[in-house]
Amino acid sequence: NKKTLIFILLFLLILPACWSLFKPGFFVSDDGEWMVIRLSDFHRSFVSGQIPVRWAARLNYSYGYPVFNFLYPLSLYGGEIFRILGFSFVNSIKLVFIFSFFLSGFLMYLFGAALWGKWGGLVAAIFYVYAPYRFLDVYVRGSLGEALGFVFIPLIFLSLFRLHQKISNRWLAMGALALAALIMSHNIMALLFMPIVLIYAGLLVWTSRQKRSLAVSYLSFFLLGLGLSCFFWLPAFYDKQFIVLD
């Protein structure tokens, strides 16, 4: 059917964006190599039963340090899934980058399609995937957390929009999970993005016929998102007093 054809077309259009990641070896970047190293230590801690993973025992000249308490962990949990499935550390990191392109594109398509129809969603997805900053993030900076964070931004917007159309527990839960995932993907990105989310939510409440009910749903949305991710950000805030950042 037409929907399946659009998804196939979208897949083929996104593929060139991450084609270089299918080549053997790892590319030179600012932080990408560090993510491979950190995943190797993350894996050692994870398989030894340290869940959630907080301490990098082998790094910092074997003295260890609590990098996973502060380094937005979701991308490493994603890499760990691929590692457990048998992929190398290098390929596990590359697969997280690859999936970040495809998932962000497909989710932006769903949000765009909800607003402007199928072809509008397709155009929105292509612009989202091929935005120059996305390529800088992946191929120059090697920022795994930010790359993964782009997956959840359209899902947050889509959840807010669907709740505006009809209040439902399904979209409330979906939005809360997406917000929690964004915070765990890249906490700084989530902090910068939050004012935009709040402005969009405020505009939707303003135009709604059920202002009070929608406002309560959105408040639950945000509180649940913060609550689901508090195992990460709460210890990070508390433990900040015990570390030296300079």
Q: Which long-range contacts (CB under 8 A, 24 or more apart) does 202-210 make?
A: 204/160, 204/161, 204/163, 204/164, 207/164, 208/164, 210/167
**pLDDT (0 to 100) of residue 75:** 94
Q: Are 154 and 110 in contact (CB under 8 A)?
A: yes
**Most confident among 51-55, 185-189, 222-226, 238-242 (mean pLDDT):** 222-226
Measured between alpha carbons, how far is residue 233 from residues 113, 181, 203, 211 in Å?
33, 12, 28, 31
pLDDT in tens, 30-52: 988 999 999 999 999 999 998 89
> Span 21-34, mean pLDDT?
91
pLDDT in tens, 13-22: 999 999 999 9
Rounded to whole angstroms, the Cα distance separating 19 from 9 reads 16
* Confidence band for 9, pLDDT divided at 50, 70 and 90: very high
**pLDDT (0 to 100) of residue 59:** 87
**pLDDT (0 to 100) of residue 44:** 92
Q: Are 124 and 109 in contact (CB under 8 A)?
A: yes
Q: Is the pLDDT of residue 245 over 80?
A: no
**pLDDT (0 to 100) of residue 242:** 86
Q: What angle do CA 153, 192, 31 make, to 5 degrees?
A: 80
**pLDDT (0 to 100) of residue 108:** 97
> Span 100-107, mean pLDDT?
97
- What pTM, to 2 d.p., does this model score? 0.92
Q: Which two tokens stand for residue 55?
A: 């301490």
* Confidence band for 70, pLDDT divided at 50, 70 and 90: confident
Measured between alpha carbons, how far is residue 7 from residues 34, 107, 198 in Å?
34, 11, 30
SS (H, E, C) 99-130: HHHHHHHHHHHHHHHHHHCHHHHHHHHHHHHC
* Confidence band for 81, pLDDT divided at 50, 70 and 90: very high
CA atoms within 13 A on the CB side of 11: 6
Q: How far apart are the first and last CA of the chain?
A: 57
